[in-house]
A and B are shown apart, each in its own frame.
Chain A
Amino acid sequence: MSQFHSTLSRRDFMKALGLAGAGVGAMSAATSVFHDVDELTAAGTVQKQPWWVKDRDFKNPTVPIDWQTLPKMDGIFPYQSAPTLTPQERFAMGIPGGAAGTWASPEQSQVLQDYMKKEFPGWEPGYLGMGDNRTTALFMAAHFMRMGMWPGEIQMGGKRINVQSQIMKAGGTPYYWSFLGLRSSETLRPQDFGVPRWEGTPEENLQTLRQVVRFFGGNEVGAQELDDDIFKFYHKKNLGKDLVIENVDEPEETATKMVIPSSAKYILQWTARQPYESSRRQAGEYEDAAVYWSYQRFPLVTALIQEFIYALGYKVVSTHMTGYHTNPIGALTGMGEHCRMSSPVLTPKYGTTNRAMWVIITDMPLASTKPVDFGVYEFCKTCGICADSCPFGLIEKGEPSWEATQPGSRPGFNGWRTNTTTCPHCPVCQGACPFNTDGNGSFIHELVRGTVTNTTVFNSFFANMEKTLGYGRKDPRDWWDMEDYSYGINTRY
């Protein structure tokens, strides 16, 4: 029994107890302020970034920009025209594909269907080229009011009504969002009651807007001052009207122009997460339900953020999806980095599984957020998984360039450009990016990202391991057997 005798003295026991108590006390004190390491390292800032993300100087993102030679573009990027046959006509004629809204030509549809069959043996395109009947039905449902468009013909009270055409007849637009915002007759401002508007510091204002963005279903916010350089990323024309800044009191939209008051010199960029598991299981000839569910919800979120700022008593305008080039603005506000895929902004936590990344202009003072560096720009130089995955070879391979290498693209930045004139918006590249990782999974992702941010030595090894370990796109048929999260988003990371 002697071996069970305790050799711990009373003095040591009390000392250990005291130390343990102090430790618990310190942890409790810290817990009320910081919930994790990311929060600790991002303390004091509105834009909370993971610990491996580094800040850069304002207007100096990882993609080099030559502000002197950077031109302003005429309008939205050129894209190929959509097929004119209806889905039923196409089906009856035996032409592959043809889901509503698809941009893929019959030839492209055939290429994509063959690609999917090779990638996922046994996969069948179904009657519309989107996969099995369940997947096709989900795509159809998620399409409703996409991009903020008023519905076409729908059933209402036992009658078929074409809502969009009725609204157009009344002088409206095909979509509910607009440059000046909704300004609903029920949205009243403090000025309407002679009450002072809410005022906050630029940091408080940005924090307020982050809270509002989260409330409506978005995720992150970033901000910048709208100077002449940043305004170059806005197009000369938006929806056929001149987009100009003028020294006026109130924003204005006429038959020929959209006027931003010069006092509205802050831009708010916000983004939202696209359903993760379904995003990397998109298949068929066109972007899938995950994309269109996002395009159904987020135009409304933009309109509501705009309405909130208006209701606070500030000036606010938005060109929504059509008036600017998202990617460089996202790099400047620190939402993410410019990447090889060129169109999406690659974000630290969610890779390319984002949607929205849209911009609002206001006179509400907003604290600018800095560009970030987490090694993407350098990683993309050696990776190229997205370019290899593109069934049409439209994503550039090789080094970035200062030249306008693709139709409708611009020079003035040393980056990559995609040929959008023949891109059918297929579902492949978005799900292939190695930065699309589940933040609630293996520790290895944090380790890789922390390393990639600080050195390029292992980039090639990591890109190869990505393939060896089987990351990337997943079989779309598996999704139906998974227990997915609400809205497809795991909010634990």
Chain B
Amino acid sequence: MLFWIGLLAGVVITVLVNWLTQRKTTVRWYEWLLGGFGLLSIFATVQHYFGSLREHEYQSAWMGSLIFGVMGIILLLVVWQLVARRAKQS
């Protein structure tokens, strides 16, 4: 599981960095930080969901995933808006 999450994260981050570089979009350090936390939250969602299913803890699986997932999506949306709005202004 960790292998596939790591592999997927590596591919996504590489594509993202290449894409940002090609578009000459700058990303500030705190945006990287927030984005990192957002991504971690998404990983936590996936691991918690499938881990909890293995534990036969179905209520925890969906409730925990909801908490981590919403947190992750909000953080990533915030980063996206910060970067996009600055790019639009320049």
The residues of A with any CB-CB pair to B shorter than 8 Å are: 277, 437-438, 440-444, 468-471, 474, 478, 482
Contacts and interface: CB of A to CB of B under 8 A. Distances in A.
A441 B63 contact: no
Nearest to B48: A442
Interface in B21-65: 44, 47-48, 51-52, 54-60, 63-64
* Chain B interface bracket (under 10, 10 to 19, 20 to 34, 35 or more): 10 to 19
Given A444-B64, A468-B63, A482 B47 contact: no
Given A438-B57, A469-B63, A470-B59, 13 more contacts: A437-B55, A438-B54, A440-B51, A441-B55, A441-B57, A442-B51, A442-B52, A442-B64, A443-B44, A443-B48, A444-B48, A469-B64, A482-B56
Contacts of A442: 47-48, 51-52, 55, 57, 60, 64
A441 to B, nearest CB: 4
Contact of B51 (A441, A468, A470, A471): A441
Contacts of B57: 438, 441-442, 469-471
29 contacts: A277-B56, A437-B55, A438-B54, A438-B57, A440-B51, A440-B54, A440-B55, A441-B51, A441-B54, A442-B47, A442-B48, A442-B55, A442-B57, A442-B60, A442-B64, A443-B47, A443-B48, A443-B51, A444-B51, A444-B64, A469-B57, A469-B60, A469-B63, A470-B57, A470-B58, A471-B60, A474-B56, A478-B56, A482-B56
Question: Helix, strand, loop or mixed for chain A's interface?
Answer: loop
Nearest to A466: B60
Interface-central residue, A438, A440, A478, A482, by most chain B CB under 10 Å? A438
B52 A441 contact: yes
A469 B57 CA distance: 8
Nearest to A472: B57
Interface of B: 44, 47-48, 51-52, 54-60, 63-64
Contacts of A478: 56
Nearest to B47: A443
Nearest to A444: B48
Across chains A and B, which 10 residue pairs bring their CB atoms closest together, nearest first?
A470-B59, A441-B55, A442-B51, A469-B60, A438-B55, A441-B51, A442-B48, A442-B52, A441-B54, A443-B47
Interface-central residue, B48, B59, B60, by most chain A CB under 10 Å? B60
Contacts of A440: 51, 54-55
A350 to B, nearest CB: 14
Nearest to A479: B56
A440 B57 CA distance: 12
A474 B57 CA distance: 9
Contacts of B58: 470
Contacts of B54: 438, 440-441
Interface-central residue, A438, A440, A442, A444, by most chain B CB under 10 Å? A442
Given A442-B47, A442-B51, A470 B60 contact: yes
A482 B53 CA distance: 12
Contacts of B60: 442, 469-471
B25 to A, nearest CB: 17
A471 B63 CA distance: 12
A441 B50 CA distance: 8
Nearest to A492: B54
Contacts of A277: 56
Contacts of B63: 468-470
Nearest to B63: A469
A478 B56 CA distance: 10
Nearest to B44: A443
A210 B64 CA distance: 38
A468 B55 CA distance: 16
Contacts of B59: 469-470
A444 B67 CA distance: 12
A432 B33 CA distance: 39
Contacts of B55: 437-438, 440-442
